């Protein structure tokens, strides 16, 4: 998609990610043309659920803006873009009406209510992408707030009042989540998945073994392993947008043990997060409030290391599922209980505890971030060669 020059692609950083709806439709049309031709509707799970509940095909403005090349300012898709992508009839297969998050989709059908055992016909509110809906649960709607959810991967989400000129992110998306604001999405492809890969597949640890490893790794100083790891096991999303980058562990010697390797991997993921946040700030994006949520909160080393690396006090949401809280925000807004979805978010925001960064540790991470960036630039050409599959040799 990045080979196509179209203004709306500027809203997604110049191209689409392969896991989005449009590239999936392109793949389907090319590789399974009979299935594509037979499909009356191509949609996402939230659209299908809403259809089953209400009998109406509607698309979420959030999903459409972030993943379907929809321009909410013009309230339009672009058939010429779909034609350039090789799916000229895709628009005919998408949900015909786009509805903002927190707006009513419609009343639940009598049949759906009966099947679910629900009395009456409740109103169904529009939702959207799970992590993005979590912004409402975190209370980070206003510019300056940044939600970082750490799990298998990491996503960073923030709003700005004006469109910044910024590269290496998804977006900025206008009016995607909230009217009048630009949504910026950063991310790290591999995070908790790297840590699980090490502890489970490589080290073969059970729960007690992992806890012992974690305790040993926590006793090491920041950068004290003498290792520098690059967290690109499955490429990089932000800020390099390079799927062919690969992970690396630099500085290994025979005295390094599992704790040193694990500690360095945790630091690499934290440095990746700090690199995203620092890049946003360097491009003029104000960030003064950080909320952390997800599986990262269950790994104390990863949590503390990330806060120290980023260097901002963090509100840590340890228990609540922010996406579920955000869904409640959407529902309350659709019911008219609040003037706008921002006010609903402020009222519903999940409780959090504040954790401050260690200034000395942050200073050390600033030094390591420079090495991390230098190593990325140095290793990238080799990683690209290794990531590209070699052609199979054929016999005579």
Token output for 337: 């209980």
Q: Where are the domains of the chain?
A: 7-125, 134-390+392-396
Q: Tell me the CA distances in angstroms from 40 to 27, 33, 51, one per residue in order.
A: 17, 13, 13
φ, ψ dihedrals at 224, nearest 5°: -75, -10
pLDDT score for 320: 82
Q: List the beta bridge partners of residue 138.
A: none
Superfamily (CATH) of domain 7-125? ATPase, nucleotide binding domain (3.30.420.40)
358: CB partners within 8 A, 6+ apart: 304, 308
Give the pLDDT confidence score for residue 392 in this predicted structure.
Answer: 61
- For residue 301, the model assigns a pLDDT of 98
Torsion of the alpha carbons at 340, 43, 234 and 236, rounded to the nearest 10:
-40
- Rounded-to-integer distance, Cα 210 and Cα 208, Å: 5
Residue pair 3/85 in contact (Cβ under 8 Å)? The answer is: no
* The pair of three-digit structure tokens given for residue 23, joined into one six-digit string: 């590239």
Phi, psi (5° rounding) for residue 166? -145, 140
Angle 44-48-50 (CA atoms, 0-180°, nearest 5)? 115
Residues 368, 237: contact at Cβ < 8 Å?
Answer: no
Counting Cβ atoms within 10 Å, is residue 350 exposed (0-12), middle (13-18) or buried (19+)? buried
Query: What's CA 256's distance to the chain center, in Å?
Result: 33
**Which residues, other chains included, contact 335 with Cβ-Cβ below 8 Å and sequence gap of 6+?**
123, 125
CA–CA distance, 340 with 181 (Å, rounded to integer): 13
| Paired tokens of 219 | 């006793």
* Distance between CA atoms of residues 122 and 106, nearest Å: 9
Output the furthest CA–CA distance in the chain (Å, rounded): 75
Fold classified for 134-390+392-396: Nucleotidyltransferase; domain 5 (3.30.420)
Give the β-pairing of 104-107 and 123-125: antiparallel
CA distance 183 to 61: 13
- Structural contact between residues 78 and 8, judged by C-beta atoms closer than 8 angstroms: yes
Cα dihedral angle (39, 44, 50, 52), rounded to 10 degrees? 40
Output the tens digit of pLDDT for each of the chain's 396 residues: 888 889 899 888 888 888 899 999 999 999 999 999 999 999 999 999 999 999 999 999 999 999 999 999 999 999 999 999 999 999 999 998 999 999 999 999 999 999 999 999 999 999 999 999 999 999 999 999 999 999 999 999 999 999 988 888 888 999 999 999 999 999 999 999 999 999 999 999 999 999 999 999 999 999 999 999 999 999 999 999 999 999 999 999 999 999 999 999 999 999 999 999 999 999 999 999 999 999 999 999 999 999 999 999 999 998 889 999 999 999 999 999 999 999 999 999 999 999 999 999 999 999 999 999 999 999 999 999 998 876 665 555
CB atoms within 10 A of CB 208: 8
Alpha helices in 129-257 (DSSP H): 130-138, 192-196, 207-218
Would 7-125 and 134-390+392-396 be classified into the same CATH topology? yes
- SS3 helix, strand, coil % of the chain, rounded to 5? 45, 15, 40
Question: CA angle 370-373-377, nearest 5°?
Answer: 140
At 49 the pLDDT is 97
pLDDT value for 390: 66
176: how many CB neighbours lie within 10 A of its CB? 30
What per-residue confidence (pLDDT) applies to 1? 82
């Amino acid at each position: 998609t990045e080979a196509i020059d179209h203004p709306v692609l500027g809203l997604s950083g110049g191209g689409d990610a392969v896991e989005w709806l449009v590239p999936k439709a392109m793949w389907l049309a090319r590789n399974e043309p009979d299935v594509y031709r037979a499909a009356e509707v191509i949609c996402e799970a939230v659209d299908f659920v809403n259809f089953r509940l209400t009998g109406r095909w509607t698309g979420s403005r959030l999903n459409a803006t972030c993943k379907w090349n929809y321009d909410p300012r013009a309230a339009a898709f672009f058939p010429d873009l779909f034609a350039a992508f090789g799916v000229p009839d895709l628009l005919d297969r998408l949900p015909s009406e786009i509805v903002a998050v927190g707006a009513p989709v419609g009343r639940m059908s009598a049949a759906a209510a009966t099947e679910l055992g629900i009395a009456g016909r409740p109103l169904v509110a529009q939702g959207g992408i799970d992590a993005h809906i979590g912004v409402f649960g975190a209370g980070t709607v206003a510019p300056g707030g940044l939600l970082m959810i750490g799990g298998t991967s990491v996503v960073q989400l923030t709003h700005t009042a004006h469109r910044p000129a910024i590269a290496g992110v998804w977006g900025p998306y206008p009016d995607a989540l909230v009217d009048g604001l630009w949504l910026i999405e950063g991310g790290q492809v591999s995070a908790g998945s790297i840590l699980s890969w090490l502890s489970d597949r490589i080290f073969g640890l059970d729960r007690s073994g992992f806890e012992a490893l974690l305790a040993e790794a926590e006793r090491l100083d920041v950068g004290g392993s003498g290792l520098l790891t690059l967290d690109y096991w499955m490429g990089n999303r932000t800020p390099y947008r390079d799927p062919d980058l690969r992970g690396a562990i630099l500085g290994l010697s025979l005295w390094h043990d599992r704790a040193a390797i694990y500690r360095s991997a945790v630091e690499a993921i934290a440095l990746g997060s700090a690199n995203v946040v620092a890049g946003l700030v360097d491009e003029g994006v104000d960030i003064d409030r950080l909320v952390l949520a997800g599986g990262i909160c269950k790994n104390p080393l990863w949590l503390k290391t990330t806060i120290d690396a980023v260097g901002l006090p963090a509100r840590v949401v340890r228990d609540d599922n922010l996406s579920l809280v955000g869904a409640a925000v959407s529902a309350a807004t659709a019911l008219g209980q609040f003037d706008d979805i921002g006010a609903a978010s402020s009222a519903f925001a999940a409780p959090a505890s504040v954790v401050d960064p260690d200034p000395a540790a942050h200073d050390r991470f600033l030094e390591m971030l420079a090495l991390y960036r230098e190593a990325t630039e140095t290793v990238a050409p080799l990683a690209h060669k290794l990531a590209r599959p070699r052609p199979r040799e054929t016999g005579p």
